Amino acid sequence: MSSSQSHWANLPSIGLSMRVLFTSYLMAVGLGLLLAGGQIMLTHGMADGKFGLSVDDIVYSYYGNQKNSRLETALNGIMKDKAPAEVRRDIINWARDGAPKDQWDSHYKTVLSNHCTACHGELPGIPDFNNYNQVRLLAEVDHGATIGSLTRVSHIHIFGIAFIFFFVGLIFSLAVNIPKWLKETVIALPFVFLIIDVLSWWLTKWHPGFAWLTIIGGFGYTAASMFMWVTSIYQMWFMKKRPGQRYLNEWQYD
């Protein structure tokens, strides 16, 4: 391979127009990532009512808050003394199942009239438990993300982000003086973490214990792409190139 053909293709040596193109792209992508981070903080970050992203936020966003219907909260709190523990547990399980109407007709209507309707049905201003619809409203739980929304967000996320990582990785593949194994790993990592991230949403929808995978995924590709971003900008603009100097570049030693 003739050296004159090969060694232009590295970040300290590329021409000004390519440098401007790469830099403009990296700046736009950097800004986009900052805004995305901000948006995540404001939406998912507030899911548990507190600012800042936590495992709880991720659980609320994907799994939902399936243990906190007003009915369940009351049965474990202010209404605790109104029915024995087995009865309360039975009602709670029914609420967590989505308070199905057929079970109301066959069983829970009687349970509630035995324990609750002396007040809920007589006293004004509190929900009437002879009325299925009023019970169902109080039994409603938040099931988190729907399969439909997860499918939509997953494919948009994978296509969009893969595009970004492809070009960030392509630019970084022209970096010099980075050990070959490290370069190849850093280029592959964002894609690996992207899949982990999206997979974790589905797993968290199924079980809240997987929420930490979302944090690992997001942290992983942020770190890998920041490394590529900073290295690329640095090598294009700040790395001193001495005349006639050759760099250890994958494109030359492959």
Residue 205 in the binding site for ligand HEC (CB under 6 A): no
Q: What separation in angstroms does the CA of 229 have from each of 51, 80, 114, 225, 236?
A: 28, 57, 67, 6, 11
Binding residues for ligand HEC restricted to 46-105, rule: CB under 6 A: 70-71, 74-75, 78-79, 82-83
End-to-end CA distance of the chain: 10
Sign of the CA dihedral 230, 232, 236, 238? positive
| Span from 25-33, 45-53, 117-125, 211-219 in contact with ligand HEC (CB under 6 A) | 117-125
* Cβ proximity of 234 and 173 under 8 Å: no
CB of 218 vs ligand HEC, minimal distance in Å? 36
Task: Kindly state the smallest distance separating residue 61's Cβ from ligand HEC, in Å.
Answer: 24
Binding-site member from 1, 21, 36, 118 for ligand HEC (CB under 6 A): 118
The smaller minimum CB distance to ligand HEC, of residues 20 and 123, is found at 123
Q: How far apart are CA 9 and CA 236, in angstroms?
A: 12
Site for ligand HEC in 133-162 (CB under 6 A): 138
> CA–CA separation, 190 vs 67, rounded Å?
35
Taking the complex as a whole, the smallest distance from the CB of residue 129 to ligand HEC amounts, in Å, to 7
What one-letter code names the amino acid at 9?
A: A
Q: Taking CB under 6 A as the rule, does residue 116 contact ligand HEC?
A: yes
Interface residues with ligand HEC (CB under 6 A) are 70-71, 74-75, 78-79, 82-83, 115-116, 118-120, 123, 126-127, 138
